[in-house]
A and B are shown apart, each in its own frame.
Chain A
Amino acid sequence: MKNHVWRPLLVALAGVALLLTARAIIVPDDFGVNGESFTYNFYRAGSVDDWKGFKVKYRGKEYCRECHEEKVEENLASPHSVIQCENCHGPAVDHPENPELLPTESTRLLCLRCHATLPYPQSNRAEMPSVSPEEHNPDENCVECHNPHNPDLEAM
């Protein structure tokens, strides 16, 4: 064959080789169909482990109990036993090392999330013990009178 056939053919072949080499370098080895279908399971397998290794921040009441047993016991005996400590105290992460102190939220707005009256009969909101924020001591912080660990008024 003549040169004018070979030359462009070689250039094209070199291009393909370059693409394949670049692909081999850039695309990770574990990339491919990792499951039943190309449509839904075409991905880098290591990504699943990346997500599994994501940092857990909310540790749960049992973690709090390890040091604050008295507080947890008091809370568990109260109507607020259904609320996680970290809902108000913030995520523990690696407390007490990091953070050393948790940013406790004790604002009126936090309590009103559940206890502001809303006339919604088809949700359990209507069943909540509730107050009208404008009428019930509007300038006071709830925790001045109510103990958030045990809000039972009889127990105060």
Chain B
Amino acid sequence: MFNHYDVIVVGAGHAGCEAAAAAARLGSSVMLITMNMSNMAQMSCNPAMGGIAKGQIIREIDALGGLSGIVTDKTMIQFRMLNKSKGPAMWSPRAQSDRMLFSMEWRTQLEQIDQLDFLQDMVSSLLIKDGKVFGVKTSMGHQISSEAVILTNGTFLNGIIHIGEKKIAGGRMGEVASVGITEHLLELGFESFRMKTGTPVRVDGRTIDFSKLEEQPGDKIPGKFSFTDTPPLKKQRSCYLAYTSLEVHDILRTGFAQSPMFAGRIEGIGPRYCPSIEDKIERFSGKDQHQLFVEPEGWTTVEYYINGFASSLPEEVQIKALKKISGFEKAKIFRPGYAIEYDYFPPVQLKNSLETKLIEHLYFAGQINGTTGYEEAAAQGLIAGINAHRKLKKLPDFILKRSEAYIGVLVDDLITKGVDEPYRMFTSRAEYRILLRQDNADLRLTPIGHEIGLASLDRVEVVRKKEFLLEKILKHCKKESAAPKEVNDMLYAKNTDALKQKVKISSLLLRPQVHFRDLIQNIDHLSSFLNDLDGITNEIIEQAEIRIKYQGYIDKERDLANKLGKLEDIKIKDDVDYHQLTSLSWESREKLSKIRPRTIGQAARISGVSPADISVLAIYLGS
């Protein structure tokens, strides 16, 4: 009944969609199996993409040739560049999405890809022979054969939804859980544990008094995620800020006795950075109010998402407390908040390619690896999709370095350190933050994306053109000067020292108060030079400014990246018996045996492996 496929992707969330798209667009025949075709790329939590560190990931996915950025651009209803007052490494794009459009757009994108088939069914076990996967078995009794399988089951593996004392089996509200895969993987020798996450109540916007809330509009000039020519936003919808109060907290407390979290009915570990409202009240009892973001779910719907009010307290307590929030006195809800527990597989069981160490051609991506977030999931899906295809074509694994991309940091963190709570990206996880900016993701990654066959030649040419223009501007600024009479008025207005003699434009830009646009306005030869450059954009000028202004810091980090890169280049063979190396501490031997680092650099990041152990390793092993 079914063809034989190169790759089967199980699950059509953010990881599954990127994985299927990447593998198919690279040339593999792909079957994407999902339990519900109408819910593809569903935003299970808040209707937003990007944010601090996450926005950078979406830019990287786009630069490599993935689709999340394009889908986001086409379906967003608001755009904000966060952290604009900080340095450029912190600028982070964030979009409010139309939840339903987002899902539909993903499906449209996927349906246009050749060699990509779909099936609505539930995978119940894998077909395994001699340590290799060769297909899947479904609950409808089908056996579908393939060369590789990518599991992206999200929160569906033995998912249990908690609302107060109610316990419902399910992967998302109203959707059944997936049973069988965990049990099969455990039989095969995998380790699995439980995690927990939560989501807040959704409210009927017709019952919210927005006049009592604080409006948070999008950027005046909205940006976008994709480096391709997706259309910019013409209109936007606003979000709103609301606040809880002591009265609200008191009502919530009345439900604590029935809280599945406090009563110990939830065994899974939840994220510390995304606590439920009851958790926040309990842990930070000194705070009189907590901020809530009221986010629209789409262009036309009246449904609103109450970000910050995640709860697994009984419905009636949630509603009673909600109604005490200013602006929500008459609120009616569409669906209550809930907590969900699910199985995950500690990602130290994976290689850099996201292939499992135990079963060949089997890949894990997304929440199954203990991460949270659409962006983190999509990035893993992309990496797994690319690598599943490459392995079949006998090409080397596609691995991004920590100094190349947040995606590199993400994968390396997962497989090296594992997770002890749902893993979310933060900029502080990256040691080369200043190199990994959202503005230069295309310069960093599009050439690589093209090399592996995902980003088109056109896109590389755009990048080359951008680099060419950048170089021209940088050269001009290093060579040409600004005269005192041209800029002194401006400098005076900005409260910084006036010039006594001519100063190179590049030196002037080093002053924190001085921006490129100030110089363009005041220095005629600079503005005419830029006007004469064919194909110049604001984006390129901004990029040039960053390069000049922060060169010292960029050099500092690049220097460090290069130095440490040397250790990254020393490979460790797969078959090392660490227990023979008695000079290593016992803890190191255990951890190294389990994680099996690929390079000395990776070994050095394993917690419990000391610098002394690394010296020993470098001496015993090595290429």
- Do the two chains bind? no
